[in-house]
A and B are shown apart, each in its own frame.
Chain A
Amino acid sequence: MIAHYGYKDAEGEFFITIDTDRCGRCEDKPCVAACPRGVFTVEEDPYGDTVVAVDDRRRRRLKYECAECKPAGDRPALPCVRACPWGAMTHSW
């Protein structure tokens, strides 16, 4: 399953996309600890896979939650995306 967590508003589309088929294969879920804002949680999805999801309280303010990892000047690799050994995660902005 391709899960898009986030929103679209007047400023743009702010989605973190997780490929749960890949994510489900990952034992350690290192992205959870890699995020400085605690954006991710681990949950069992409706089809029985243990996968990473975006915390419900963070989902509607991703532009702000992710701000410090996306400096205006230069764009280093994101800690969450870098931590994912399966290439299961992308950001839309």
Chain B
Amino acid sequence: MIAEIGHFALILATGVALYQFLVPLYAAQRGDRALMRTGLTASVLQLALIATAFAALTHAYLVSDFSVQNVFENSHSAKPLLYKISGVWGNHEGSMVLWVLILALYGAAVAIFGENLPLELRSRVVAIQGSIGLAFLLFIVLTSNPFMRIEPPPIEGNGLNPILQDPALAFHPPFLYAGYVGLSIAFAFAVAALIDGRVDAAWARWVRPWTLAAWVFLTIGIAMGSWWAYYELGWGGWWFWDPVENASFMPWLVATALIHSAIVVEKRNALKIWTVLLSILAFSLSLMGTFLVRSGVLTSVHAFAVDPERGLFILIILCIFIGGSLALFAWRAPMMKAGGLFAPVSREGSLVMNNLLLCVACLAVFVGTLYPLALETLSGEKISVGPPYFNLTFGPIILPLLLLVPIGPFLAWKRGDAATALRRLWISLAVAVAVGLVVLALNIRGPWLAPFGMALAAWLVLGALTDLASRIALFKAPLATSWHRIIGLPRSAIGGILAHGGLGVMIAGIIAISLWKIEVIVALKPGEAADVGGYSITFIGETPLTGPNFTGRAGRFLVKEGDREVATLVSEKREFQPSGMPTTEVGLHQTLAGDIYVVMGDATNDGGRAIRMYFNPLVNFIWLGTFIMFLGGLLSLSDRRYRVGAPKRHVAAQAVPAE
């Protein structure tokens, strides 16, 4: 009965979504406040119902109820508890339920925490959220229903794709979806503003933190996906410009632009119309990401369903929302008032520059991702667009942006002075150039990009530190004063500094692994050794291995640096039951200086193994940097200025302060 209650709750949520879509829109137009409030209630009900459905589905997974087809197809009674839970969203149907659950969570948050928003705006936002929910709930109920039953039920399930049985991937989708779907709030606010014909001042206060939340989730979600690809796929790489990766990277780029432009709207009331457009674009790219992954138009490392019926359905959703919102924008935007003025060289100007470069970079990724698909659809020709394309397009576009990142925070609002800004940054600049020269001296035979890349990374980190130092008047005021100032700094400022510094740390990692990675492929018999990047790695031998739902062989490797034993690594080849699908577990020794990465391959004829070994210098800087960016986002999110209360009744009666 629990399964059917979940099913009914999901369908009831579809009905509530229709109510949530239509009624608040009508009520806001009529000015009927009581009816508008029912829209808010509907969005909370929506959350309660979808949460019920999700809980029922999770229950079916936990108790291995194979009378539910989705559980039968994707679970197995012998699976560890963690993967029974993550199995809920490790498949198409369940992941869509997670998608609408997160959507409902955001919608209810607007209804509950939106006290400082005008009721008309809040109703319209909730209505737009309702329309998105309706579209996806219909998609689930009509094409991807996780509550279909089997009579009589099979006694055992098919199991979860073993490649997905991994802690990082278990939590990768929820974070990624929280990011994708979080952008729906900015979208709903943008469309509500367009319907309304005005951008309330409170609008920007809301758009920025919600976009920031989405950005934080996207950042950590993408980082987890990349980390997983690095150690689970066993290819030694961390980013493949795979369409599925790009599908999450494009919304991230535009969301990054959006959190920057929202600063301008919030602080200076300028760039409003552009920010509305950017909000629409950001969520459109999220929808497109969902479409690319969920429709099965791609065949990539992400092992998901292929079903043209579903693809068509999502494509229609995509057209309605993207086309509809852009048409609305074209119609209403010219009627909106533009905001404050600023000089080209100013904080505002630098943020516009940031936005332009990020959007163009996103366009480059967009073309590289969709062009092969379009070509295949039109001419049937299959081409693959790989790293060379992205290095040649994305690289040169993002490079000037990275160079400008440290300068932006030193420009004053409204009218800035580039020379002054650079003067304040001269130490950073000098040190960065020195770093470049040292790297050049150490790598006199190339690679030629190395000195430049490392100088860039140093420039970003030092620029962020200089920003901090100048804000707290380090070395100009007594240390106690500086410490006092650091406490008093707005958290959003520290967040920004962390994010920019983290970017530099990440760049250092990317440059190092791209240019100095060492790869050795050898056939070794037990007892034999090979040298990789100054380490000697001995293949000790292999032993059989039994897990809860797999069997396999574990190869052991002794890593030595000179005579010193550094680590013993284990690389496994596993075969999962019941599918018989093989997976590889990488043997990984992580240090900040770099990873030793060993993969045991197939057996050779003479009793040895083909073995791939990598030394990946500074690779952990990539995730360390992303994690710092993530922390910066979180810190900024906790800034107290987002906790502006609702206007009190007596405030309305106060006189306007005189100039």
A binds B: no
Question: Which residues in A have some Cβ–Cβ distance to B below 8 Å?
Answer: none
Question: Which residues in B have some Cβ–Cβ distance to A below 8 Å?
Answer: none
